[in-house]
Amino acid sequence: MNLVDLTAHEAGDLLRRREISAIDLVNAVLDQIEQREPTIRAYITRTPDDARRQAAEIDRRFASGEELPPLAGIPIALKDNLCTAGIRTTCASRILENFVPPYDATVVRKLRESGAIILGKTNMDEFAMGSSTEFSAFYPTANPWNPAMVPGGSSGGSAAAVAAGEALAALGSDTGGSIRTPASFCGVVGLKPTYGRVSRYGLVAFGSSLDQIGPLTRDVTDAALLLAAIAGHDPNDSTTLDWPVPDYREALRPDVKGLRIGVPREYFVEGMDPLVAQAVRQAILKIGSLGASVDETSLPNTRYALAAYYIVAPAEASANLARYDGVKYGLRVPGADVWEMFDRTREVGFGPEVKRRIMVGTFTLSAGYHEAYYLRAQKVRTLIKQDFDRAFQEFDVLAVPTTPTPAFPIGARIEDPVAMYLTDVFTVTVNAAGIPGLVVPCALVHGLPVGLQLLGPAGSEETLLRVGYAFEQSGDWRTTHLP
């Protein structure tokens, strides 16, 4: 048995039966990291000594007969925009290269309380601005299926770590597809929860009305376990929903009878890889064969979503990143006066994509342009949400592609921002509307994974996990196709 190939719930069962130890599991994953990191480069910061100490403590607690939560002893990776007390949090940016937070993000605290073992911090597009993990200030991450390809972004390091056996599960963040695109490209499961379902306290902000933290895992069961561990109201985040947290694993059953699946025609567009479209349609037909009804529907304002997103998100980024001025924390480059210090610090500290988005956002918020651009984009966002609201009166779940293509070669789009932004054409609507989205692997196209994206109304994670689980159990994706 190769321990690095286990899912989190499989490993958890073995730990409880005392058939493996947490230290053996952690050491196996750390060995895998040593072997694969020279090629994959999924991590920015690794904490092997801390991981071994945590594992030893979990083994002691198991030996004492203590009943521990489902994630106890499971090695997990964290995207490097989640604050971790005593462990640097860089956001893959030079401006925070040596920043060590004094506190844990709420999701990190909850994972620690659940007994999960933190392996380190994963690579990402700088400040989560990108779709390929090529915009890291340190190095790009490679796709474990083919190291010449991108892993998707911005949570590419987390997805690649899970796919490569360098973690049994991971957390990412999703502002416009940053969990779901890497999940699709790397052949893992990715869940972007309802906005407010998971606390953002301690998540370094990109777009505050769009950001959400979620799991990247090997299967749907693990996604349910991680969501249950991190979800819930948080007094430190006023946007969190005061809803009870169900046992998401109870929703998992290979039965979709009676569910209504909608297929929006706007998500199958000219220019997408026809093999991707075919694979997704076949996956939807498979769900229909399991007992769900499947019908076409329309979300007419989808065509405006990408343009609206790339006004709203950069505007919020411009406001959020104004705090990086060299005064309070992070990089400081001295100047003749405070204004020159601001300029020099930001010039050296921010990478090209971050600067591009700050400039776009600052322009759209500036006097004379706010109403023409930002306010209009927010109105489009309302129309997109209304489209979803109407669709969910008729359907329980919408099934769509995740990306127009499989993973593309490293370097292929980095000089073409528009081509890079088009990667997000099927994912940004979800963040604009604040609804949840689940990606499950459904096929190989050109030898690379493709993900089916399932969307539901706010708070419908249980239904999405049920459909994703039924689809997953109907095939042999994991046993046949792990790289």
The model's pLDDT over 166-185, given as tens digits with 9 standing for 90+, comes to 999 999 999 999 999 999 99
- The predicted pLDDT at position 482 comes to 59
- Mean pLDDT of all residues belonging to the chain: 96
- The predicted pLDDT at position 130 comes to 96
**Of the options 3.40.50.720, 3.30.499.10, 3.90.950.20, 3.90.1300.10, the CATH number for the domain spanning 3-262+395-481:** 3.90.1300.10
All residues at 6 or more sequence positions from 274 whose CB lies less than 8 Å from its CB, including other chains: none
With tokens 């506190």, the residue in question is 103
- Environment class of residue 68 by beta-carbon count within 10 Å: exposed (0-12), middle (13-18) or buried (19+)? middle
Widest Cα–Cα separation across the chain: 70
All residues at 6 or more sequence positions from 53 whose CB lies less than 8 Å from its CB, including other chains: none
Q: Is 83 left (phi over 0), alpha (psi -120 to 50) or beta?
A: beta
pLDDT single digits (tens) 112-126: 999 999 999 999 999
- The predicted pLDDT at position 344 comes to 92
The residue among 373, 318, 22 whose CA lies nearest residue 168 is 22
- The predicted pLDDT at position 391 comes to 98
The number of beta carbons lying within 10 Å of the beta carbon of residue 111 is 25
Distance CA(469)–CA(213), nearest Å, equals 21
By annotation, the residues acting in catalysis are 79, 154, 178
Rounded mean pLDDT, 235-248: 97
The percent of residues in the chain predicted with pLDDT above 70, rounded, is 98
With tokens 């990247």, the residue in question is 216
Residue 483 has pLDDT above 90, yes or no: no
Residue 371 has pLDDT above 90, yes or no: no
Query: For the chain, what are the domain ranges?
Result: 3-262+395-481
Residue 368 has pLDDT above 90, yes or no: no
**Residue 219 has which token pair?**
């299967």
Residue 481 has pLDDT above 90, yes or no: no
Q: Which helix (H) or strand (E) holds 443?
A: strand 437-445
Q: What is the pTM of this model?
A: 0.97
With tokens 């490993």, the residue in question is 11
Q: What are phi and psi of 75, to 5 degrees?
A: -75, 120
Q: Which amino acid is at 199?
A: S
The percent of residues in the chain predicted with pLDDT above 90, rounded, is 93
